[in-house]
Structure 1
Amino acid sequence: MTTDSKALEGYIAEQKNRLSANPQCGVTHYNLGVALLSRGDFLEAERAFRDAVTHSPTLVEAYVQLGGLALQSGDLEGCLNYNKMAAEGRPMFATPQGNIGFVYMQMGEPSKAARALERAVKLDPNFIQALATLGNAYMMEGDLERAEKVLRQALDKEPMFGPAWNNLALVLLERGEHANALECIDKAVATGYDVRPELLEEVAPYRSQAQPA
């Protein structure tokens, strides 16, 4: 067992000891859940997060974690509902709003996604993932101008955020700006972002056209 593994097991044991003395402490249940996630013990982690909100209903981070576990198992509705509970419990918390927007995008509902993502960005203007996803939602709504504006805002804040470059490339392709789209794709690749092979194939003809004779 590595030193990190030993430290993790020691931390888990410590949280369990604390719960033996005070089983009503929601924060300790939550901390245990996070540690169990790190160990890959998803079922026990889920149980710990459920115990956390049972004893501390305002600990909405546990709802967010439960949403993540639901998403991991392919339960989009479950993820959506948990994040809605988190948003209701703490309306000024940007993370669940961003997650709600992401799930709606996965469900093919860009208008609902955009409204949630707008709330997320209003609460946290530096929420880069929400900005990038919002740009994609605007594009799917057909509002290319707003999509480009939001994506450039994201890249102004974090120039190495690959998903924003990728989404901006999609917007520019919709406009027929192939050379600019290629540049964005190259920047996305340079960040280490895994651009979809289908997109790379789509732009390949334009790349050859851009080469000097």
Structure 2
Amino acid sequence: MKTPQDSNDFIQEQVNLLNENPECANAQYNLGVTLMQQGKFKEAIEFFEEAISNSGRMFEACVNLGYIYFKLGDLEKVVQANKKAVEIEPRYARGYANMGFAYLQMARTDEAIEALNKAIELNPHMAQAWSNLVNAYLQNDDVDKAVEVGEKLVEIAPDFALGQNNLAFAYYLKQDYEKAVEHLGRAMELGFKPHPEFIKELEPYLKND
């Protein structure tokens, strides 16, 4: 949803709708989005929760709640919000991807892998989910699987710089330095700035490249 430039007028319009119909989920959702964009997270949460309560199909409000809770650093609530989203809309890949990312941040790796694989099953072209899955397998010390997933990622999205970098790191851990240099170089060509320590580790192989 694109909020009009004069958000105050837009907010008043939605408030007027709620005055006419206090259970109007669309107006509550619109207010939630506007307030979220303004960084007024507490107020946005209240409107999103009301929208969810008043509509049986408001999975977008759940995902937006998850975004707010991520910004607030509450990963458990990120998971809860996105779980609710996929309960409402089981084929909503973004909800599973968001859950997977939150699980990854909490080092709940098996749950991250399950959620991310589900996201990819529903949307095979979701590059960020593939990239997070690479990291999940690395977190699980399964380097071979990380490489396998990373190769699928760069096949699907060859210009996704972060994916190239993550695959480079997987190959580095596999001690395949030629491949690591290849994908790191590709990431840098795409504008990615790798961690200086990673570049330093590959310097001997870069020089011989």
- Tell me the TM-score normalized by structure 2: 0.88
The equivalent of 1:82 in structure 2 is: 81
5+ unaligned residues in a row in structure 1: which ranges? Answer: none
Residue type of the alignment partner of 1:91: P
Are 2:144 and 1:145 equivalent residues in the alignment?
Answer: yes
Tell me, in whole angstroms, the C-alpha distance in 2 between the residues paired with 1:181 and 1:134.
Answer: 18
**Backbone CA RMSD of aligned residues:** 2.1
Q: Distance in 2 between matches of 1:18 and 1:199?
A: 55
User: 1:167 corresponds to which letter in structure 2?
Assistant: N
CA distance in 1, matches of 2:78, 2:193: 25
CA distance in structure 2 between the partners assigned to 1:9 and 1:203 by the alignment? 53
- Sort the Cα spacing of 1:198 and 1:26 in 2 relative to 1 into closer, same or farther, 3 A: farther
Q: How does 1:86-101 map to 2 (within 5 A)?
A: 86-101=85-100
Counterpart of 1:60? 59
Q: Secondary structure at the match of 2:194?
A: coil
Cα distance 1:183–1:13, how it changes in 2: closer, same or farther (>3 A)?
farther
How many residue pairs match? The answer is 207
The question of whether the paired residues in 1 share the 8 Å contact of 2:36 and 2:68 is answered with no
Instruction: Give deviations 1:73-101, integer Å, cap 9, x for gaps.
Output: 11111111111222222222111111111
Map of 1:109-128 to 2, 5 A cutoff?
109-128=108-127
Give distance in 2, aligned partners of 1:71 and 1:63. 12
Task: Report whether the alignment pairs 1:134 with 2:133.
Answer: yes
Counterpart in the other structure of 2:185:
186
* Deviation (angstroms), 1:135: 2.0
Provide the identity percentage: 35
Cα distance, 1:5 vs structure 2: 7.3
Output the CA distance in 2 between the equivalents of 1:82 and 1:54.
13
1:36 maps to 35
- Separation in 1, partners of 2:199, 2:43: 41
Contact 2:14 2:30 survives alignment (8 Å): yes
Query: Structure 1 residue runs of 4+, over 6 Å off?
Result: none
Structure 2: which 5+ residue stretches go unaligned?
A: none
